[in-house]
Amino acid sequence: MTVNTFDPKQTTTMDTPRKVMEQQAKATDTAAAKSEASAEGNARIGFVSLGCPKNLVDSERILTQLRTEGYDVVPTYDDADLVIVNTCGFIDSAVQESLDTIGEALAENGKVIVTGCLGAKENDITEIHPNVLGVTGPHAYEEVLNQVHQHLEKPKHNPFVDLIPDHGVKLTPKHFAYLKISEGCDHRCTFCIIPSMRGDLDSRAVGSVLSEAKRLKEAGVKELLVISQDTSAYGADVKHKMDFADGMPVKTSMQALCEQLAKLGIWVRLHYVYPYPHVDKIIPLMAEGKILPYLDIPFQHANKRILKLMKRPGSAERVIERIKKWREICPELVIRSTFIVGFPGETEEEFEELLAFLREAQLDRVGCFKYSPVEGATANEFPDHVPEEVMEDRLQRFMAVQAEISAAKLQARIGQEYLVLIDEVNSEGAVGRSYMDAPEVDGKVYLTDEFDVEPGDMVWAQIIHADEHDVWGVKVED
Q: What is the rounded CA–CA span in Å between residue 90 and residue 376?
A: 10
Does position 7 interact with ligand SF4 (CB under 6 A)? The reply is: no
Does position 195 interact with ligand SF4 (CB under 6 A)? The reply is: yes
Smaller CB separation from ligand SF4, 171 or 194? 194
Among 2, 3, 4, 6, binds ligand SF4 (CB under 6 A): 6
* Alpha carbon distances (Å) from 277 to 314, 326, 329: 10, 11, 15
Residue 472 · residue 464 · CB < 8 Å: yes
Contacts 24+ apart (CB under 8 A), 382-391: 382/190, 382/309, 382/344, 382/345, 383/344, 383/345, 384/344, 384/345, 385/344, 386/342, 386/343, 386/344, 386/345, 386/346, 390/342, 391/341, 391/342
Does position 374 interact with ligand SF4 (CB under 6 A)? The reply is: no
Report how far apart the first and last C-alpha atoms of the chain are (Å, whole number).
Answer: 34
Smaller CB separation from ligand SF4, 186 or 468? 186
Smaller CB separation from ligand SF4, 294 or 369? 369
Does position 88 interact with ligand SF4 (CB under 6 A)? The reply is: no
Site string for ligand SF4, 261-300 (x = CB under 6 A): -------------x--------------------------
Sequence length of the chain is: 478
Smaller CB separation from ligand SF4, 228 or 260? 228
* Residue 52 annotated as part of some ligand binding site: yes
Q: What is the rounded CA–CA span in Å between residue 413 and residue 242?
A: 42
* Residue 88 annotated as part of some ligand binding site: yes
Q: What is the rounded CA–CA span in Å between residue 2 and residue 345?
A: 29
Q: What is the rounded CA–CA span in Å between residue 444 and residue 440?
A: 9
Window of 10-18, 134-142, 186-194, 348-356 that interacts with ligand SF4 by CB under 6 A: 186-194
CB of 95 to ligand SF4, least distance (A): 16
Residue 275 · residue 299 · CB < 8 Å: yes
Among 48, 189, 297, 335, binds ligand SF4 (CB under 6 A): 189
Does position 339 interact with ligand SF4 (CB under 6 A)? The reply is: no
**Contacts with ligand SF4 in 217-256 (CB under 6 A)?**
229-230
Among 121, 170, 187, 222, binds ligand SF4 (CB under 6 A): 187
**Contacts with ligand SF4 in 126-185 (CB under 6 A)?**
185
CB of 13 to ligand SF4, least distance (A): 19
Does position 194 interact with ligand SF4 (CB under 6 A)? The reply is: yes
* Residue 368 annotated as part of some ligand binding site: no
CB count, 10 Å around CB of 95? 21
Contacts 24+ apart (CB under 8 A), 347-355: 350/303, 350/305, 350/306, 351/394, 353/302, 353/303, 353/316, 354/301, 354/302, 354/303, 354/398, 355/397, 355/398, 355/401
Window of 15-23, 107-115, 188-196, 277-285 that interacts with ligand SF4 by CB under 6 A: 188-196
**Binding-site sequence positions for [4Fe-4S] cluster:** 52, 88, 117, 185, 189, 192
Positions that interact with ligand SF4 (CB under 6 A) = 5-6, 185, 187-189, 192, 194-195, 229-230, 274
